[in-house]
Structure 1
Amino acid sequence: MRKLKNSELDRLSVEDFKNSKKTPLIIVLDNIRSLNNIGSVFRTSDAFLIEKIYLCGITAKPPHKDIHKTALGSTDTVTWEYIENTIDIVEKLKQEKVKVCAIEQAENATMLNDFTVDSNTKYALVFGNEVKGVSQEVVSASDHVIEIPQFGTKHSLNISVSCGVVIWDVFTKLSKFSHNTSL
């Protein structure tokens, strides 16, 4: 096997990305404090053609050098919007028939591997603060609470890692309804 060169990866241009059909997923960042985590979420969202990111509360907004360091230009491709209160966008999305899923450890949470998707539904995945997680108000307002199964001594993952795990899982489940992996 030979590693591929960047020129062989057949990446989309910024314009092609913006014109591509998007994965029916929205990411909501509920008070994320680390700019590197925010940049990583942008980069993962670019990789899976995520429709939009909502940055809420204390979550910083591009342009910022520490976001750019990990986003590597994906703040120019992924559509984003700042909303002061996370609950406001959660309520708006629910009115638009988007299923809101808080990614959190909570009573009666559905384990990620048991979470099933509907091919005719758009989902919003809410990721919370590095210390406090998703706010209780948002958890209570969500249609689903999804927990990532963990088996070691620690009971949390970095938010950017959680985002990558959950986006990949939901993307693959949604892709089963499509004839190709680009949905």
Structure 2
Amino acid sequence: MIDQLTHNESNFQKKEFPILLLLDNIIGEANLGSMLRLADAFGIQKIIFCGSEPNLKSNRLKRTARNTHNTVNFEFEEDSVECVNKLKNQGYRTVAIEITSTSQSIENFVLENENKILLVAGNERHGISEEVLGLCEDYYHIEMFGENSSMNVAQSVGIALYEITKAFNKFDKK
């Protein structure tokens, strides 16, 4: 018989990656709760909520976050453009998860040196703002095989974080 393990019984090693997640005007409370949970699951350093301040008292956000709103490091910045510029000046490689004319599949993400990553995700309806998109250095999308060309922002961030942390783990083994 196979036993399902609890968190305390698993052998996952806690690890933090030099990744910041900038949410450019994401407003859905379930999406925000999911982002907090993903940030915890993938060991990122911090979430930066930009544009719209999250309602951390929302029951929907708290239910989705499953207590990670109390454990994940986050901050709020009003101006996404100013925040991206500041972090670029601090040496962050800006990576947009967005379908663009120059984006490539996130499965091709590679680290060439010990990059600090700023992963940028955009609003549920409009994506990353044009101004912020113009500041990003790299553009990645998720290959899709159906009729639709987009997916839920939290799902796309989960896939992107999986590929980026996988690249960090490969880089560490070199």
Q: TM-score, normalised by structure 2?
A: 0.91
SS class of match (1:26): strand
1:125-140 correspondence runs (5 A): 125-140=119-134
Aligned equivalents of 2:25, 2:6: Cα separation in 1: 37
Q: Answer whether contact 2:109 2:167 (CA < 8 A) is retained.
A: no
Judge conservation of contact 1:109–1:146 (CA < 8 Å) in 2. yes
Displacement after TM superposition at 1:67 (Å):
1.4
Indicate which of 109, 116, 119 corresponds to 1:115: 109
Aligned: 1:150 with 2:151: no
Gaps of 5+ in 1: 13-19
Residue identity matched to 1:70: T
8 Å contact kept, 2:100–2:139: yes
Alpha-carbon contact 2:23-2:120 (below 8 Å) kept: yes
Is the Cα–Cα contact under 8 Å of residues 111 and 171 in structure 2 kept in the other structure? no
Q: Deviations over 1:32-63 (max 9, x none)?
A: 12011000010011011110000011251424
Residue 53 of structure 1 pairs with residue 54 of structure 2? no
Q: Which amino acid aligns with 1:4?
A: L
* SS of equivalent residue, structure 2 residue 139: strand
% same residue: 31
> Separation in 1 of the partners of 2:64 and 2:12?
18
Alignment of 1:26-175 (within 5 A): 26-175=20-169
Change (3 A) 1:77 1:11: farther
Change in CA separation of 1:10 and 1:104 when aligned onto 2, cut-off 3 Å = same
Unpaired runs of 5+ residues, structure 2, are: none
Following the alignment from structure 2 to structure 1, what is the Cα–Cα distance between the partners of residues 123 and 47? Answer: 15
- CA shift, 1:113, in A, is 1.6
Give the SS at the match of 1:177.
helix
> So what's the TM-score if we normalise by structure 1?
0.87
Q: Which residue of 2 aligns with 1:5?
A: 6
Provide the residue aligned with 1:16 in structure 2: none
Tell me if the contact between 2:19 and 2:119 (Cα under 8 Å) persists in the aligned partners. Answer: yes
Structure 1 contact 102–138 (Cα < 8 Å) conserved: no
